[in-house]
Amino acid sequence: MTEVDLLRQHADVLFDMDAHGRLVRLNEPGDEPPPRLFLARGRRTQRIWFRTDVPAATAEACRRIARGLPRGDGQPSSGATYDVLRAVLAGDAPIGEEQCGPAYRFGDHADLHVDAEVRVIDEGSAHLLEPHFPYTRSVLAERSPVVGVVIDGRVVAACFSARRRSTAAEAGVATEEPYRGRGLAPLVVSAWRELVERAGGRPLYSTSWDNVASRAVAAKLRLIEYAETFSLT
């Protein structure tokens, strides 16, 4: 898969779009609005998407700016990199939220020497999620595949499909605080990856630059950073 195809697939997994490629909603349970602007900046190219209410003139101005941005190099962008994009979008309405971080694809399997058993969570074992992951339990069908480490009759670390299509899925992972630092998060992400690939999909992983724990999971799994994503809401 080429870089541009990967950028497009990533956006398709994250968002529902209309026939014109405009962002309509987040691809997850509920009806949360998408960002007004979502940019994926790869090593060789970039792609940008807009919410349905962004004026056409604003979108075109942002596209011109995005084409002039430096390509991603695997490092966090400087605070000034997106200043002009912020200014143009703020000309229509105030910016309430900003997110920026790396997007990864999976490469070779990492050797994880962790003494814990990972279990696939289905309807028959869904009750194991209720103590610490009640929301995942309530949307189990939408979040499948779901895998977890079970200790004392309850899931204490889980990986699930935060957003999913038939061709790809985005990982979501969480570990209860008393069990952090034991390598459980990379373990469940690795098991989730295998299930997604077995079903014919592409596993994806992304986070924010300031989420040190999530980036550490990516490092332990030797994930390959292919883009920086940036969004304004």
Share of the chain above pLDDT 90, in %: 92
Report the pLDDT value the prediction gives residue 32, as an integer from 0 to 100: 85
Long-range contacts from 151-155, C-beta under 8 angstroms, 24+ separation: 151/116, 151/179, 153/128, 154/128, 154/129, 154/130, 155/119, 155/121, 155/128, 155/129, 155/131
Token pair recorded at residue 99: 């997110």
User: 23-26 and 15-17 as β-strands: parallel, antiparallel, unpaired?
Assistant: antiparallel
Residue 79: pLDDT band (50, 70, 90) is confident
pLDDT tens-place string over residues 127-182: 999 999 999 999 999 999 999 999 999 999 999 999 999 999 999 999 999 999 99
Report the pLDDT value the prediction gives residue 29, as an integer from 0 to 100: 84
> Which residue is it, tokens 């190099």?
73
Report the pLDDT value the prediction gives residue 78, as an integer from 0 to 100: 86
Report the pLDDT value the prediction gives residue 7, as an integer from 0 to 100: 96
- Cβ-based neighbour number of residue 209 at 10 Å: 15
| 32, 95: one domain | yes
Task: Give the CATH number for residue 209.
Answer: 3.40.630.30
**Domains identified in the chain, total number:** 2
Q: Within a 13 Å sphere around the CA of 41, how many CA atoms are in the beta-carbon half?
A: 25
| Chosen domain end from 75, 104, 133 | 104
User: Is there a contact between 189 and 217 (Cβ–Cβ < 8 Å)?
Assistant: yes
| Chosen domain end from 74, 104, 134 | 104
pLDDT tens-place string over residues 21-64: 999 999 998 888 999 999 999 999 999 999 999 999 999 999 99
Domain assignment present for 216: yes
pLDDT tens-place string over residues 168-227: 999 999 999 999 999 999 999 999 999 999 999 999 999 999 999 999 999 999 999 999
Domain enclosing residue 188, as ranges = 118-224
Report the pLDDT value the prediction gives residue 25, as an integer from 0 to 100: 96
Report the pLDDT value the prediction gives residue 31, as an integer from 0 to 100: 82
Give whole-number Cα distances, 171 to 200, 207, 216, in Å: 15, 10, 15
Report the pLDDT value the prediction gives residue 185, as an integer from 0 to 100: 98
**Backbone φ, ψ for residue 28 (5° rounding):** -160, 165
Average pLDDT over residues 81-90: 96
Q: What is the mean pLDDT of the chain?
A: 95
Instruction: Give residue 59's Cα distance to chain centre.
Output: 24
Domain assignment present for 204: yes
| Chosen domain end from 47, 72, 104 | 104
